[in-house]
Structure 1
Amino acid sequence: MKNCLTCGHSQEDGKFCGKCGTPLESAALEQAATINNMTDYQNQPQPQAGQAVQETSHSSDQIELLKKQSKLYFNHFLEQLKKPSAGFNVEIAWKNNLTSMIIYVLITALSVFLLIKSFTSRTFGLFESYGPSIIQVILYVSLFLILLMAINVLAIFLTSKLFSENLSFTNVISKIGSYYALPIAVTILSILFGLLKSYTYSMIMLYIGFVLAIGIIPIFVMVKLLSNTSKIIDNFYSFIFYLVVTAILTSIIFSFIIDSTIGDYLSFLI
């Protein structure tokens, strides 16, 4: 029988609490041991010139620690995929949730690059060499997605500060990131369809993942927060405030992108 260290819930199997989503004793201890081992390794003095054997051993230990940490994240990802709301109030997993958001940004940028490459090769075959590189696409798409995520985090943070719970930026990121397993899975499907040259389905999956990550998930988190507690005014007006803040910040970002990026492309074509 395993006991949850956070809420006291008991269950026979599983690495995460079925009630609150906190890692159970074994998983929590394993994760804590992994983090402590990585910290101990980082605090060790650097090897001298004549310590090639020790350096090789330390590198091997670090690889093993990374493998173990990756395994813990994969288990966390599967739990997110099965029960996203279970980790909504589990602040101990905020680093894993932030990792999910970073992974989504990177695989979305990769999916966009595959689609752009296929489009330029079929439509502008003669000018394929002038298309953007993978580094450029990843940089621009990642920056674009990070800005939109930052808008969502800031809007939820301001709304929660004024009308709901007193949350920090870390809390907001954790709550949003706890639902990112599904957008990641959908975007991975987009990449697979792109590799199979099924570009229509690839674009559909990419669009669904984007709508989930940037639109539906932040709105769902905001509604859930407002349903818990609300200060000063009615929840409906709090939600309207969130939408207005999001719309204003998004319009600023889009106007900046249109003025800079699209303007550069038009001047290049002319």
Structure 2
Amino acid sequence: MKNCLACGHAQDDGRFCGKCGAPIENAAQERAATTHSMSDEQPHSQYTQTAQNTTQSNEQIELIKKQSKLYVNYFVEQLKMPSANFNVEATWKNSIISMIIYVVLTAISVFTLIKQFFSGGFGFFESIAPSFIQVFFYMSLFISLLIVISIFAIFLTAKLFSESLSFTNVISKIGNYYTLPIAIMVLSILLGLLKSFSYSTTMIYIGFALAIGIIPMFVMIKLLSNKSKNIDSFYGFIFYLVVTVILSSIVFSFMIDSAVGEVFKFFK
């Protein structure tokens, strides 16, 4: 039994359809050829898609390697001369990377110290020790908020008392100096792994003081000294300190309330 592909008429034999006259054998041959072609093209298309995915993955890996190499070169140069790119706005992406690396390293270093502290009581306090996720989240949030406060305070003070700067420019100016805090936090982690906890804690304090206090203050002073509006730069610096202290106090109170809430939640 043959079916005509043109009109659907069924007949036992014959090369042409008895109803519409369409060639039945050619239609069947075309259908078989089409099916065979599709079966041949499917493995080829799958191979092509796999090859494209592999190529894209290789390109992404090469891009990551290239960006990592560029950042390492930037890191080394900034560690040698932190003020070299003070007036260059194009480094703000590297500055953000430096800030993120500092935040992550600080959270890891603090968790290392907390873990050793709670494990020092013969395992008695290990059950109440905070997890890595908790420490990492709260420390990352706390430090990130303080960095954002520094950026905002410099942006606002520069706009009112010095020169109008974009947020990316302020990020670039602050982040260029974060190579030293990063190096200090790496040293803190190494000291913590070597169980030299007093020196590790000291390194955390030094890195924190540099990243949150000294570096933003240095950038603010440098901006006010380079260019100042009619209002004296001294009042600009006082304004910067007031804004920083008020916003930082709000963040401190928020974090302390959250920490105390977690403690009470545990003992309930």
Matches of residues 73-84 of structure 1 in structure 2 within 5 Å? 73-84=71-82
Superposition deviation, residue 244 in structure 1: 0.5
The counterpart of 2:125, out of the listed 124, 127, 130, is 127
| DSSP-derived class of the 1:63 partner | helix
Superposition deviation, residue 57 in structure 1: 2.3
The counterpart of 2:85, out of the listed 72, 84, 87, is 87
The counterpart of 1:96, out of the listed 94, 97, 105, is 94
Cα gap change, 1:138/1:49 in structure 2, threshold over 3 Å: closer, same or farther?
farther
Matches of residues 1-270 of structure 1 in structure 2 within 5 Å? 51-123=49-121, 125-269=123-267
Superposition deviation, residue 58 in structure 1: 1.8
Superposition deviation, residue 48 in structure 1: 6.9
Query: Which residue identity is paired with 1:126?
Result: F
Corresponding position of 2:9: none
Superposition deviation, residue 124 in structure 1: 6.7
State TM-score, norm by structure 1.
0.79
Cα gap change, 1:124/1:268 in structure 2, threshold over 3 Å: closer, same or farther?
farther
Counterpart CA distance in 2 for 1:158 and 1:219 is: 14
Query: Which residue identity is paired with 1:116?
Result: I
Query: Which one has a bigger Cα radius of gyration?
Result: 2
Cα gap change, 1:259/1:67 in structure 2, threshold over 3 Å: closer, same or farther?
same
Corresponding position of 1:17: none
Superposition deviation, residue 267 in structure 1: 4.9
Could you tell which deviates more after superposition, 56-65 or 241-250? 56-65
Counterpart CA distance in 1 for 2:104 and 2:179 is: 14
Could you tell which deviates more after superposition, 179-188 or 198-207? 198-207
Superposition deviation, residue 130 in structure 1: 3.0
Cα gap change, 1:48/1:255 in structure 2, threshold over 3 Å: closer, same or farther?
farther
State TM-score, norm by structure 2.
0.80
Question: RMSD of aligned C-alpha atoms?
Answer: 1.6
Cα gap change, 1:224/1:126 in structure 2, threshold over 3 Å: closer, same or farther?
same
Counterpart CA distance in 2 for 1:264 and 1:136 is: 10
Counterpart CA distance in 2 for 1:60 and 1:117 is: 39
Overall identity of the aligned pairs, in %: 67
Give the paired residue count. Answer: 224
Query: Which residue identity is paired with 1:214?
Result: I
Query: Which residue identity is paired with 2:133?
Result: I
Deviations 1:117-151 (A, max 9, x none): 10110037223133222122111100000110011
Superposition deviation, residue 51 in structure 1: 1.4
Query: Which residue identity is paired with 1:147?
Result: L
Superposition deviation, residue 197 in structure 1: 1.1
Counterpart CA distance in 2 for 1:126 and 1:198 is: 22
Counterpart CA distance in 2 for 1:133 and 1:196 is: 21
Superposition deviation, residue 187 in structure 1: 0.4
Superposition deviation, residue 49 in structure 1: 8.1
